[in-house]
Amino acid sequence: MDGEVRINPYLAGNFAPLRSEDDFELEVVGEIPAGLRGALFRTGPNPQFEPRDPNHHWFAGDGMVHGFYLADGKASYRNRYVRTPKWKLEHEAGRALFGTFGNPMTTDPAAMGQDSGVANTNIVWHAGKLLALEEGHMPTAMDPRSLETLGYAQAYKGRTTAHPKIDPKTGEMVWFAYAVGEAPFATGISYGVTDAKGEVVRRDDFQAPYCSMIHDFMVTENHVLFPVLPLTGSLERAMKGMPPFAWEPGKGSFVGVMRRDADVSTIRWFNTEACYVFHPLNAWEEEGKLVADVMRYDVAPLFPNADGSPGTKAAARLFRWTFDLTGASDAIKEEPLDDLDGEFPRVDPRAETLKHRHGWYAADPTASGTIKQCAIAHLDLKTGKRQLYALSGGDLTSEPVFVPRSETADEGDGWLTAVVWRAAENRSDLLIFEALDLEKGPIATAKVPRRVPFGFHGNWASF
């Protein structure tokens, strides 16, 4: 309609930016377990200024970290922007300078060629360091208590992933990076390892079949798996005013498999039909095979087609991918594990890279066909039993994060944490559950006096 004002959905409701940095003591309803001591850190996109790009994408906002600190039955909250070089440059200018994903067509000439990192996707605790991560730049170190930005972790020597995996046996952090090369949207991929002391001990590059947005990957005890799926990046498209990242199913789907101790020249490429995975649950080794449980989409959601036309709405379901390392076929065997729409799957971190029994994820029992996170699910892969904690009144949950009861507790014995937006009150709560008894409901609720905008990932740290 003529004169109609289009509202960007990523700048409205609980996607809308929150520009205050606050410290709160939280009211607690119920009882926070005495053994739950540490902090849940979460991060997400939060544009400092009104974006320049009318088609601003949720993934492109400045990173803001939210810390929930728990001890002695009490809870406090603190949030701070990640003060990246981009954030500082725009803060000084008092306005947005960069286009979405650094798009040169919508970037102010004053910022052309400058660092566009946002550190908005994940935040991990490894080797005594808190690192804010995204897919295009080095990790940003932050003080875990004050959330002061300490700057780039220069030892990584270039971009890294937002989704490293920490080996529970060795303490190593295994990571990757995509679009590595001189030009934007290059086809290079890096494979890297940070040892248990926090030293980067490996970084090797290889070429992918094409430039794909590789949001996450899979790691087992002895192997690493790189999914190259047809959500493609293209500088040529971007320079024509078309979408920098777009769904291009004709490219096909590939997963590169390599031993962790091998040279990148040994990668073997497996394939399957066009699909997309933002997040795997976990992967492990079993009798000459690699097995990965993944949240699989038929098409990439949230992104347009390569011709610029709107993409198809889609939801993910849990699938199992099997790679036969001893066979002659490079086809990936696929089988569904669950019939419930979901996203943000998590395991007990002590089971990462190993065969797991338990998984948790944000779920949509309404089958809306989109990423509508109105429930939290637990799936016992041994018994096949699924538990569900459903939210009501339009409330929506973040990614659930598991915290072990102790280092020696059985897999799954511990607590589940989740930040939930209360739609009617337009504020948020931190919910704490017994991880294996979701249907019981939260055993404690820490009430935030305002909202925590929708974000991406979080992790627990004990320090």
Residues flagged as binding site for Fe cation: 163, 215, 279, 457
CA dist., res. 305 & res. 245, Å (int) = 9
Report H helices in 141-199: none
For 158, 186, 385, 426, 445, the CA distances from 431, given in Å and listed in that order, are 37, 42, 22, 16, 5
Question: N- to C-terminal Cα distance for the chain?
Answer: 56
Strand partners, 130: 125, 142
Burial of residue 447 (CB within 10 Å: 0-12, 13-18, 19+) is middle
For the chain, helix, strand, coil in percent to 5 are 10, 40, 50
Task: Indicate the annotated binding residues.
Answer: 163, 215, 279, 457
The total number of residues shown for the chain amounts to: 463
CA dist., res. 368 & res. 146, Å (int) = 40
Write the DSSP symbol of residue 212. B
Backbone angles phi, psi at 261, to 5 degrees: -100, 10
**Pairing of β 317-324 and β 427-434:** unpaired
Give the closest residue to 431 by CA, choosing from 408, 393, 403.
403
Q: Is 128 helix (H, G, I), strand (E, B) or coil?
A: coil
Give the closest residue to 276 by CA, choosing from 291, 254, 258.
254
Q: Can you spell out the DSSP letters for 258-308?
A: EETTS-GGG-EEEEESS-EEEEEEEEEEETTEEEEEEEEESS-TTS-BTTS
